[in-house]
Amino acid sequence: MQPLKIAVLGSGKGSNFRAILNAAMAGQLKIQPVLAISDHPEAGLLSLAENLGVATQVVSEPKFRTRLSEEVETGLVEDIRASGAELIVLAGWMRLVKSPMLEAFPRRIINIHPSLLPAFPGLEAWKQALAAGVEKTGCTVHFVDGGMDTGEIISQCEVSILPGDTAETLHARIQDAEHRLFPEVISRFARREIL
């Protein structure tokens, strides 16, 4: 079976991309990153990709902060298609995905979110969980749809909220769970169990 070709979109440090790469190097999943895209030129995701010889791209969007304009997203669709990517992985991508990408890649775009969806969608979900006083939270891998963290859930991992937890300690444990769950889910796509 050929490695699954993935395009990764991220806005931050790239820790989930690093976890995916580490799992691939450990033989736990069979992938071939073909494109890394960020809306921040200094994103860690881009340097990780460049070090591996993976094509990188910076998306510039002057009009909107939380999404891409239709023209920019349409251009992104063309670039992803040209890369041959079979799965689009949102790893810390901080913009909503809209119709050009959703129509071009139905059930081929996945995201990881730091809560047990549908609870606590949106930004800083671990802080939302702490403020709500719940006993557990976690992370969710889901298909991306037109809403904010509303797509069909693929898999989840629970994380207990401990006495004395701060936003930082809880977020660190959720990230550890993300770094296990995301590669595990992607491996199911790589084995063609989901695709």
Q: Are 140 and 155 in contact (CB under 8 A)?
A: yes
Identify the helix (H) or strand (E) that includes residue 125: helix 125-132
Q: State the CB neighbour count (10 A cutoff) for residue 191.
A: 13
Identify the helix (H) or strand (E) that includes residue 75: helix 70-83
**Would you call 113 a catalytic residue per the annotation?**
yes
Which among 113, 142, 171, 179 is annotated as catalytic? 113
Residue 62, SS3 per DSSP: coil
DSSP assignment, residue 105?
Answer: S
Tokens describing residue 188: 């199911």
Sign, CA dihedral 28-142-19-134, equals: negative
Tokens describing residue 175: 């990230």
Task: Bin 153: left if φ > 0, else alpha if -120 < ψ < 50, else beta.
Answer: beta
d(C-alpha 83, C-alpha 124), whole Å: 32
The residues assigned a catalytic role are: 113
